[in-house]
Structure 1
């Protein structure tokens, strides 16, 4: 399996490689933003699942359910 390239990303979203680099300094910077966004989405799912749980055990149950079912 080959590593993803910035050119592959650019083609997938309909931009040129040069245009992508107007917004990102490096391939690593692109990866960091993608990971940060996915982590934020994950935390939103978890927080929504546990926010109104009445007990600690219910929070844990909802946490594990969110992790196993909500992250797809």
Structure 2
């Protein structure tokens, strides 16, 4: 099995979050342009005694891509 590099994974996730925050802050600019992928309505599994609701949406914007690139550059310097 391959070893998972948790530092890289965490930096990429932080890059997405910070990029999304920047895109939300500058809402009227090109940084907020992007595409959303996922389920438009959540999937519900109702077994009577147990109800499970699953939904996932990923929104990729220019700002989130820039955040991931910055995270990869930071990873390269700390590695």
* TM value normalised by structure 1: 0.39
Larger radius of gyration: 1
Please report the TM-score for the alignment, with normalisation by the length of structure 2.
Answer: 0.37
Higher relative contact order (CA 8 A, sep 6+): 2
Please identify which structure carries the higher strand content: 2
Q: Going by fraction, where is helix more abundant, 1 or 2?
A: 1
